[in-house]
Amino acid sequence: MTYTPPPRTPHRRRTRAAVALAAASALLLSACTGSDSPSKDNGAAQGRPGASSAPPALPVELAISGPADGAANVPTAVDVAYTAKNAANVTVKLTDPSGAEVAGAAGAEGKGWQPAGQLKYSTKYTATVTATSTDGKPTTATTSFTTMAKPGKLGKVTSIINDKQIVGVGMPVIITFGVDVSKENRAAVQQRIQVTSDPPQEGAFNWFTGKELHFRPKEYWQPNTKIQVDARTGGTNLDGKWWGERDVSFTATVGPKFVMEVDNATKQMTVTQDGQLLRTIPVSLGRPKNPSASGNFIVMIKNEWEWFDSSTYGVPADSAAGYRTKVYWPQRLTWDGEYIHSAPWSEGDQGKRNVSHGCTNISAAHAEWLWKQTRIGDPVIIKGTEEQVKWGNGWTDWSTSWDQYVKGSAVPYVPAATTSASAAPSASASSN
């Protein structure tokens, strides 16, 4: 699908208002001048020969292209598609057998109409599209269709972000699927997911895997941004056999810009909030044979404590190189086990040398303080180590260029589209 244009801003509205006011002033001046010196066209305006009149309204051309009238076995994620030429206004009314109206809104760029939620299975619906011409005459088209029976294979659809959660400025919207969405179906699935933000910010989708679809803004979310996500995935065909189990909708709020930056050259972490330095923390990173990865990470998981066990990556805990340790204040950065965490055993090395197995070691006091400040989605930037993080080893949305990121969208990305706080579908959310 394609991006909708950015929403009109108050500045633009004021500009148009100024133009309208200037036009009104010009008309007023003309009228005053005409009272003293009638123009040659004054008689024409009063009905004499040569009088001008508004051109007649062009006839409306309206057609519903789907679902076809009488269609059966229609997916419950269907949209009403239509074309309306020479219309000043178009409305769509979708009703069930009882006559109850289904809520919905125009799709991206006004192309078609999308129900606000999944339709019911095995139910007959009637869509009435009314297009009004410029002179107020309505033209109507109608189609009736019946939705499919409930399929036997329903794939789960979930969100990493909880409803009303406060997240960090680097947090991507992540929708996960219980089965791999086939490459052939990804565009259709992506088109049914809308992300809107207040204030508006440009963003793009990226299919990390067939089971995981991400959306991030071009730059970090602005602090205090309100995010609304509507994933109308219930009844969507995922791979030809499995269908989306349900719709997913939630809101989230972005917290302050809390950033942790680790420099291997100085063995220090600088912690800032909204650009102000809060604390400088000595660190010990991965030893040369177990280097920490450099990259732009975000906090993915936080726990007050976890068991760290070397057997999870193939080294028996009871071997000479193995370990099983209870670690406090861990904050996960990668799937292969890099964390920021309390490491009282290496406090003498922190700020001086790297002795960890790849994690960012900090003191117990600093670890507890930091853990109590952070949120899921807060950025962690590590630089100057011996290797770079691999794509997909964690939520690595920020460890690649924007031009590369947008290539992961199943729908061609259109630059400069923005999310919007309006009710209209978001361009960046629904079509990049």
Pairing of strands 387-388, 124-132: unpaired
The residues, any chain, with a CB within 8 Å of residue 26's CB and separated by 6 or more, are none
What pLDDT score does 315 carry?
64
> Does residue 190 belong to any structural domain of this protein?
yes
Q: How many residues does the chain have?
A: 432
Residue carrying the six token digits 């052939």: 184
The residue among 90, 125, 147 that closes a domain is 147
Q: Which of 214, 357, 359, 366 is catalytic?
A: 359
Is 305 found in the same domain as 251? no
Give the Cα separation of 125 and 120 in Å (integer).
10
Is 32 annotated in the active site? no
Residues 248 and 162 in one domain: yes
Question: What is the DSSP pairing of strand 104-106 with strand 154-155?
Answer: unpaired
Could you give the 3-state DSSP secondary structure of residue 279?
strand
The boundaries of the domain holding residue 300 are: 258-388
Say if 181 falls within a structural domain. yes
- Catalytic pick among 214, 341, 357, 366: 341
| Burial of residue 401, with CB atoms counted within 10 A of its CB: 0-12 exposed, 13-18 middle, 19 or more buried | exposed
Residue 73 has a pLDDT of 97
Q: Residue 74: give its domain's CATH number.
A: 2.60.40.3780
Same domain assignment for residues 264 and 365 = yes
Q: Is the domain of 87 the same as that of 71?
A: yes
Distance, in Å, from the CA atom of 152 to the CA atom of 369, rounded to the nearest integer, reads 50
Query: Is there a contact between 207 and 180 (Cβ–Cβ < 8 Å)?
Result: no
CB 210 within 8 A of CB 181: yes
Q: What is the CATH number of the domain that holds 244?
A: 2.60.40.3710
Structure-block tokens of residue 8:
């009109």
Check residue 17 and give its pLDDT: 35
Per-residue pLDDT of the chain (432 residues; tens, 9 = 90+): 333 344 433 333 333 333 333 333 333 333 333 444 444 444 444 445 555 566 788 999 999 999 999 999 999 999 999 999 999 999 999 999 999 999 999 875 556 899 999 999 999 999 999 999 999 999 999 999 999 999 999 999 999 999 999 999 999 999 999 999 999 999 999 999 999 999 999 999 999 999 999 999 999 999 999 999 999 999 999 999 999 999 999 999 999 999 999 999 999 999 999 999 999 999 999 999 999 999 999 999 999 999 887 676 666 766 656 667 899 999 999 999 999 999 999 999 999 999 999 999 999 999 999 999 999 999 999 999 999 999 999 999 999 999 999 999 999 998 864 444 433 333 344 334
Cis peptide before 199 (omega within 30 of 0): yes
Whether residue 79 lies inside any domain: the answer is yes
Strand ranges across the sheet with 268-273: 276-282, 268-273, 258-263, 379-383, 293-298, 387-388
Clarify whether residues 191 and 99 are in a common domain.
no
Question: CATH number for the domain including 345?
Answer: 2.40.440.10
pLDDT of residue 108: 58
Among 210, 211, 213, 229, smallest CA distance to 221 is for: 229
Instruction: Say if residues 140 and 130 touch (Cβ distance below 8 Å).
Output: yes
Q: Are both 308 and 351 inside the same structural domain?
A: yes
Q: Do 216 and 296 have their domain in common? A: no
Inter-residue contact 108 to 94 (CB < 8 Å): no
pTM: 0.81
Q: Are residues 252 and 280 in the same domain?
A: no
Give the three-state DSSP class for 14.
helix
* Alpha-carbon dihedral sign for residues 296, 301, 303, 309: negative
8 Å CB contact between 84 and 61: yes
Q: How far apart are CA 334 and CA 99, in angstroms?
A: 52
Residue 191 lies in a domain: yes
pLDDT of 325 reads: 86
Q: What is the distance between the alpha carbons of residues 122 and 96, in angstroms, rounded to a whole number? A: 11
The neighbouring-strand residues paired with 214 are 174, 206
- How many structural domains is the chain composed of? 3
Concatenated DSSP letters for 342-377?
E-GGGTTTTTT---BSSSEEE-HHHHHHHHHH--TT
Coarse DSSP helix, strand, coil percentages of the chain, rounded to the nearest 5 percent: 15, 35, 50
Cα dist from 211 to 61, 176, 214, 359, 402, whole Å: 42, 5, 10, 28, 22
Cβ neighbours of 48 (radius 10 Å): 10
CA neighbor of 351 nearest in space, from 342, 341, 359, 363: 363
Residues 6+ apart with CB under 8 A from 107: 1, 79, 113, 114, 425, 430
Q: Which residues are registered as beta bridge partners of 277? A: 272
366 in catalytic set: no
Residue 67: asked if its preceding bond is cis (omega within 30°), the reply is yes
Q: CB–CB of 397/206 below 8 Å?
A: yes
